[in-house]
Amino acid sequence: MDITSMTAVEIGKKIKAKEITVADAVEAAIAQIERVEENVHSFVRIDKEGARKRAEEVQKMINDGTLTGPLAGVPVAIKDNLCTKGVETTCSSKILEGFKPTFTAEAVVNLEKAGAVILGKTNMDEFAMGSTTETSYYGETKNPWNLEHVPGGSSGGSCAAVAAGECAYALGSDTGGSIRQPSSFCGVVGIKPTYGTVSRYGLIAYGSSLDQIGPIAKDVTDCATILETIASHDSKDSTSIARESYDFTEGLVAEVKGMKIGVPRDYFTEGLDPEVKEQILKAVKVLEEKGAVVEEFDLSLVQYAIPAYYVIASAEASSNLSRFDGVKYGYRTSEYEGLHNMYKKTRSEGFGPEVKRRIMLGSFVLSSGYYDAYYLKALRTKALIKKAFDKAFASYDAIIAPAAPTTAPKLGESLSDPLKMYLGDIYTIAVNLAGLPGITIPVGKDSKGLPVGMQIIGDCFQEKKIIRAAYTFEQTKSYEAPELAKGDR
Amino acid sequence: MAKQYETVIGLEVHVELATKTKIFCSCSTQFGGAPNTHTCPVCTGMPGSLPVLNKQVVEYAMAIGLATNCDITQVCKFDRKNYFYPDNPQNYQISQLYLPIARNGYVEIEVAGQKKKVRIHEMHMEEDAGKLIHDEWDDTSLVDYNRSGVPLVEIVSEPDMRSADEVIAYLEKLRTIVQYLGASDCKLQEGSMRADVNLSVREVGAAEFGTRTEMKNLNSFKAIARAIEGERERQIELIEEGKQVVQETRRWDDNKESSHAMRSKEDAQDYRYFPEPDLVPIIISDEWIQKVKDRQPELRSEKLERYKKEYDIPQYDAEILTNSKHMADIFEEAAAICGKPKKVSNWLMVETMRLLKENGMEPEDIDFAPENLAALVELTEAGTINSSVAKEVFEKIFAEDIDPKAYVEEHGLKTVNDDGALEEVLKKVIADNPQAVADYQGGKKKALGALVGQTMKTMRGKADPVAINKKLQEML
Amino acid sequence: MANQITDETIEYVGILAKLELSDAEKEEAKKDMEKMLDYIDTLNELDTDGVEPMSHVFPVHNVFREDVVTNGDGSADTLANAPLAKDQSFKVPKTIG
């Protein structure tokens, strides 16, 4: 029995049925980590002993009936921007080296209550700024489908870990596509929920008005189950929303008859790799054959999402990251002359180039004389983008889009031209600006054998609809793992 | 003829609100405590922490806005003010710039019989910073975040004041209003009320304002008055010398009675305000405003009238008692306990005011329990101690908040009411002072005073001089 | 219109952001910022007159906490990660009064 090829829900069921123990699941994950981690480097920190100890505790609670949920005993990996009490949390940055939070992020607390066993913290682009997981201070993560390619980012470590079978599922965060894009590159499923669905308490902020935590797993059932577990109305997060329903697994229905699906013409233009386009349109056809009503339409404003996003996200980031100053936690430069020199040296040595670039841009657009021209203009653009989506969702239940213009690029190709890298987020960013939910599911592979993901976008609070569409498609195609995950067994 | 200058002053007053918890977390706002004990991830800017607004802060701010005739901003938001300083753990302060809680108000002041309106431009809610202590030993600074996140309301006036007297009158007025609302204790020395002074000068009759400076670190009314005078002189001197006044922030040093610019290349004073994404807007309905209005406690003018009617206190006394809410509270509580409002009023009007003045203190600084004052009144009324002992005991109450009953007992200060004992002493005094006795009996009534004095001395003050007087006359 | 970022601007933004850039980094930063701002300027093609700036996507408002003390002594946790501490306080270079 190969546990690492199972989905989280399957593992949970087997544990519950006493076919396997929690320790079996955890040891299988650890063995897989030991086998592939050297090549993939999904993790920045692995806590084998902690996981083994926790496995025993969870097993006891399953045995005595305290834990009965679908994820009890299932091993998970957590993105390194989610605080875990007493366990180093760095956002893959030098500036947080050695930082051990004194509390655990609410989403992770919710997982722990459900009996999750945490294996470790996954690699990411430094402070979630990047689309390749190459800006990490702790070295890049590689794509399990082809080690010469990037896994995408910023949740590249989480997605690669799931694809490589190093964990049953993982948590990521998505500010401009950081769950959906790497899920697409790694051939896994990822959901970015409606803004406010999962508490941000304990998520180290990048762009506060855009950040959301979400699940990454092998299939839609897992993702719906995990989302159901981590979502909550949290009084510690003022932007957390009390939703009418958290039963996301109710969306797991293979039925799209009559569902109205919009395909934005302006997303399928010359910027899109023809192979990616072909795979997605094929998947759309499948849904149409299943009874969905598919229609092309013009979403409009597509080219304005990225510039608006970089103004808003960089501005918020410049403020959010100002707390990293060498006074209270993390890195402090060894030699300095006075307070401001300490600040400057600490931050200049502690942050990587991409983070500095965005802090500089964010500080500039907020500075005296530029606020109206840049920041307010971007917020007005955001309002128009939201309106464009509102109009679309008046006609459609879901919108289908690519997750990225290409499949995973080669390592080292993207960082040389930041603007070009930013353009890769064109299909995911608008969703964050408008606060919408989006899911990425694998639909096929390109000629290089790299996975192609399809993004299904829903209206606010309509996760169940996109889960239903994704689940319906998934029934037509079984999960495919990269060769590396299968090993030589 | 020398030119005549007019001083133009506007004030930014910070008031620490009397909430139990901080503005964005459930840490105590209690003053004091070992460093960093009243802290949590939120008020120390820990990564991943998020603010949640204390509702009471909004209600206090609304109450102050309403009591100062402001319009309440019914869609109100928080903004981030970005600047690096170690007392500011996030390196941004959550404050309000674009949509502050209240705007366009005024208070009326009276200086030398002249009534005047001082307009309030706006008032906003924000979080206080931590404390920096200079460590002499290794020439570093130590940061304590106990005060970080204590709620503040900043009240920004228009440049409507023209003298230090007007400034003090405005501050006293604000303080009375805020204290009566129970929104703050407004102690300047402890920093729960702080004022920054924006000041410029111009030739009398000039249409335009001059360039203003902002003065910080003013922690008493006296310091404020001195700083205003000092800054006025400094600016006039610059102008007379043909130099420019530079718009800058200056720090007042009350010991040196001078100020210095707080400029540095690293302080760009460009705060990059933007809407706080971690907090949602506050929408204030008409009903909510009405509710806050309805809950408003008795204001000073109402209290003054009630004292006159209910306790038969004269106008002047009632004014002094109600000038400070703290004093009024002590008065009411002590009067309720001992049932002797006039006697309580007397102690506050005479001895308390004298001691405050002698110690350079404000009524807010009164630190004794009303129970102890009431007990003192009861002791004197019962004749347990005489008035000179009472004064001595009161000084102890004022300084150390002692329990007068225990104190009198411990120090043996009770008036000797034992007639036999007094008679014994008197017999001895009469026997020892034949000359004085003879003088008295010879018609020199003044001689009796010497005998009374002798008796008091012998009894170490514990006798009632009136009783001695009476008894002596009987015996002679 | 192409944006021109001067040395002074980069210097100034460095002061705001508390980042110290080497000369090479400054040149790089100037180029990056010019390029990004040119790109951001495409927003000017959009007519946003009369559009209310949107900071929060959802009309959620009035999220409050009651004024009740629930936190106890937090000093140990607060100082747990301090790079330098003394007397239960964070130690920093001397600040000017």
* A102-113: pLDDT as tens digits: 999 999 999 999
Q: What is the pLDDT of residue B301?
A: 84
- Which chain A residues contact residue B86 at CB under 8 A? 325, 327, 339
- CB < 8 Å to A235, chain B: 52
pLDDT given at position B470:
79
Greatest alpha-carbon pair distance for chain C in Å reads 57
**Residue B428: what pLDDT?**
83
Domain presence at residue A219? yes
> What pLDDT score was predicted for residue A466?
98
Evaluate whether B168 touches B50 at the Cβ level (below 8 Å). no
| pLDDT at position B1 over 70 | no
Question: Which pLDDT value is given to residue A415?
Answer: 87
- 3-state class of B3 per DSSP? coil
Q: Which residues of A touch B48 (CB under 8 A)?
A: 82-83, 101, 103, 105, 201-205
pLDDT score at B418: 66
**Is the CB of residue C66 less than 8 Å from the CB of residue C35?**
no
Asked if pLDDT for residue B166 goes beyond 80, the answer is: yes
Which residue of C lies nearest to B261 if distances are taken between CA atoms? C97
Mean pLDDT score of chain A, rounded to an integer?
A: 97
Helices (H), B182-324: 221-240, 286-294, 300-311, 315-323
Q: Which residues pair with B196 in a beta bridge?
A: B12
Name chain C's partners: 3 or more CB pairs within 8 A.
A, B
pLDDT > 90 in chain A, percent: 97
Chain A residue at shortest CA distance from B53: A238
Domain span at residue A188? 3-254+477-486
Count how many domains chain A has: 1
Residue A156: give its domain's CATH number: 3.90.1300.10
pLDDT at B267: 76
What's the mean pLDDT in A344-361?
97
Lowest mean pLDDT among A212-216, B278-282, B365-369: B365-369
Q: Looking at residue B296, what is its pLDDT?
A: 87
A343 domain-assigned: no
Mean pLDDT, residues B196-224:
92
Q: Which residues 12-31 in chain C show a CB within 8 A of chain B?
A: 12, 15-16, 18
For residue A391, the distance in angstroms to the closest alpha carbon of chain B comes to 25
Rounded distance between C-alpha atoms, residue A343 and residue B88, angstroms: 13
What is each CA distance from B317 to B303, B376, C38, in whole angstroms? 12, 20, 71
What are the residue ranges spanned by the domains of chain C?
7-45
Whole-number pLDDT of residue B454: 81
In sequence order, the β-bridge partners of residue A46 are A120
Choose the most confident range, by mean pLDDT, from B411-415, B451-455, C26-30. C26-30
**For the whole model, what pTM was predicted?**
0.89
Distance between CA atoms of A333 and B255, rounded to whole angstroms? Answer: 37
Minimal Cβ distance to C68: which of B26, B36, B40: B26
Please, which pLDDT band fits residue A412 given cuts at 50, 70 and 90? Answer: very high
Indicate the pLDDT class of residue C97, thresholds 50, 70 and 90.
low
The Cα angle at residue A314 between residues C46 and B41, in degrees rounded to 5: 135
Indicate if the pLDDT at residue A259 is higher than 80: yes
What fold does the segment set B419-475 form as a domain? Answer: Arc Repressor Mutant, subunit A (1.10.10)
- What pairs with residue A135 in β-bridges? none
| Region A177-193 average pLDDT | 98
pLDDT at position B119: 98
Residue A223, pLDDT score? 98
Query: Which range has the worst mean pLDDT, A294-308, A321-335, B104-118, B353-367?
Result: B353-367
Bridge-based pairing state of the strands A117-122 and A43-46: antiparallel
Residues 362-391 on A with a CB inside 8 Å of C are 362-365, 367, 374, 376-384, 386
Q: How confident is the model at residue A488 (pLDDT cuts 50, 70, 90)?
A: low
**H-run or E-run covering B259:** strand B258-261
- CA nearest to C89, candidates B103, B143, B125: B143
Domain with CATH 1.10.10.410 in chain B: 419-475
> Which pLDDT value is given to residue B138?
86
ipTM over 0.95: yes
- Report percent pLDDT > 70 for chain B: 99
A33 inside domain:
yes
pLDDT tens digits for range B231-263: 999 999 999 999 999 999 999 998 998 999 887
Please report the pLDDT score of residue A489 as a whole number: 47
- pLDDT tens-digit readout, A421-460: 899 999 999 999 999 999 999 999 999 999 999 999 999 9
**Using a CB-CB distance cutoff of 8 angstroms, which residues of chain B are in contact with residue A328?**
44-46, 89
pLDDT averaged over chain B? 92
Cβ distance A241 to C58 less than 8 Å, yes or no, reads yes
Residue A275 lies in a domain: no
Q: Burial of B219 by CB count in 10 Å (0-12 exposed, 13-18 middle, 19+ buried)?
A: middle
Q: Is residue A420 part of a domain?
A: no
Q: With respect to residue A464, please indicate whether it lies within any of the assigned structural domains.
A: no
Strands A189-192 and A169-174: unpaired
Tokens 């599911």 belong to: A441
Per-residue pLDDT, C1: 53
CATH T-level fold of C7-45:
Histone, subunit A (1.10.20)
For residue B376, the number of C-alpha atoms closer than 13 Å in the C-beta half-sphere is: 32
The residue in chain B having the minimum alpha-carbon distance to the alpha carbon of residue C71 is B27
